[in-house]
Amino acid sequence: MPQLLDSLPEVYRSLFPSFFQGPVPEEVKATCSSCAMCEASNPNPIESVDGVTRFFRPDTKCCTYHPRLPNYLVGAILSDEDAAMAEGRRRIQEKLDRRVAVNPQWLKAPTRYTLLYNNARQAFGRTQSLRCPYYEPQGGLCTIWRYREAVCSTYFCKYVAGADGRKFWMTFKTWLTLAEIQLSRYALLQHLPDYVLTGRDKADAATVPLTVEDLDDQPPPEKEYADLWRGWAGREAEFYKACYQSVRALSSQDFENLLGIDGTIELSILKQRHEAAVAPRLPKVLKLNPGATVQWLPDGSIALASYSEFDAIALPGEAYALLVEFNGKQPVEAVRQRLREEKQADLHEDILLELYRHRILIDVNAPSQ
């Protein structure tokens, strides 16, 4: 298995605890180069869920999200002189020159984009208007992937560990987002302390009401922008690079102190979720999930989905008659023995484990699934 650090920007290697050097499930089902959610390469025959197409557009894939890049990662991109990062640097500089949604803590989505994203229905992966500005449609890849932020580092359309994998990565996103917030605030204290001392780092979530500039994706008025950046106005790239250098200079102990008790708690939860993702155990008693989506296919097979609309399991049609025998009243081994005796059929433990991880079968003793 790869290390968890392998999915993160290089700057974190000297900061994060030793836990992140441990193994993490390799998400082989989520393939970027040949998108598993695009119709052309999707081996799953299910075309729609509740009348909505389940496929992503090939010219957007899952990149219908605008990253919120913390100041030090912006600086890392601008400091990386590798030719492979040339296009990413160009796009970042272009955003800085436009001054739209550019502030000392984040390089983020324009307010109008955020409003559309938060109010769109079934749009993820399916609309060009929300395509990431760092996505390169010709190659279908990200121009800043080396320095991706928390959401892009932890999102997968399908998980090898099913629901347990999704819980793990979502918990990791929470922890990594906390790290981004605290590291960006630390960098602000070093180079623009008034931004933190006046509470501007806590007002970032405000999106309404929209201003005239927001509606037209235009920069804020000159005076407002100058007040935001103080002596760094016109030297934004230099500021972001300084933030990157400040974060690079931190020790692992400095980083632990920055995250404080919140970081300790989230890391403890993450370790629990990691155990469930890499070392799954089949529950003693299982029940067919009454909330699972069941779709019969033209060839007589059946598609089952539960924890995610993007990740269904296809089984032979006759398997469904076996699954309904798991009613939560008998231990798994007792049900399997009865199926062998009465129907001369069986579901192997590996199959049952996969069905459980996808929550097609659920643990009747678990407080929540």
Query: Any residues with CB less than 8 A from the CB of 72 and at least 6 apart, and which?
Result: 11, 183, 184, 187, 240, 243, 244, 246, 247
**21 lies in the same domain as 104:** yes
The pLDDT of 177-197, averaged and rounded, is: 97
The token duo for 360 is 């097609």
Q: Compute the distance between CA of residue 323 and CA of residue 244 in angstroms, rounded to an integer.
A: 54
**152 lies in the same domain as 264:** yes
Domain at 321, CATH number: 3.90.930
What was the pLDDT predicted at 51? 46
**243 lies in the same domain as 323:** no
Q: Compute the distance between CA of residue 43 and CA of residue 63 in angstroms, rounded to an integer.
A: 21
**267 lies in the same domain as 311:** no
pLDDT band, residue 203 (cuts 50/70/90): low
Q: Any idea which of 49-63, 182-196, 293-307, 326-340 has the lowest mean pLDDT?
A: 49-63
**144 lies in the same domain as 234:** yes
**40 lies in the same domain as 146:** yes
| Domain assignment of residue 291, given as a range | 285-363
What was the pLDDT predicted at 92? 98
| pLDDT tens per residue, range 212-230 | 999 999 999 999 999 999 9
pTM: predicted TM-score of the whole model, two decimal places: 0.92
Helix, strand or coil, per DSSP, at residue 49: strand
Asked whether residue 295 is assigned to any structural domain, the reply reads yes
**20 lies in the same domain as 150:** yes
Whether the per-residue pLDDT at 208 is higher than 70: the answer is no
**240 lies in the same domain as 341:** no
Q: Compute the distance between CA of residue 188 and CA of residue 194 in angstroms, rounded to an integer.
A: 8
The answer to whether the beta carbons of residues 106 and 204 sit under 8 Å apart is yes
If one counts the domains in the chain, the total is 2
**303 lies in the same domain as 213:** no
Whether the per-residue pLDDT at 52 is higher than 50: the answer is no
**26 lies in the same domain as 142:** yes
Please identify, among 239, 255, 278, the residue that sits at the C-terminal boundary of a domain: 278
pLDDT band, residue 205 (cuts 50/70/90): low
Please identify, among 278, 293, 319, the residue that sits at the C-terminal boundary of a domain: 278
Asked whether residue 368 is assigned to any structural domain, the reply reads no
Q: What percent of the chain has pLDDT over 90?
A: 78
**71 lies in the same domain as 133:** yes
**157 lies in the same domain as 304:** no
The pLDDT of 266-272, averaged and rounded, is: 97
The pLDDT of 133-146, averaged and rounded, is: 92
| pLDDT tens per residue, range 72-88 | 999 999 999 999 999 99
**Left, alpha or beta for 270 (phi > 0: left; psi -120 to 50: alpha)?**
alpha
The pLDDT of 190-202, averaged and rounded, is: 94
The pLDDT of 282-310, averaged and rounded, is: 92
Please identify, among 278, 312, 341, the residue that sits at the C-terminal boundary of a domain: 278
Asked whether residue 86 is assigned to any structural domain, the reply reads yes
**Residue from 184, 111, 129, 180 nearest 152 by CA:** 180
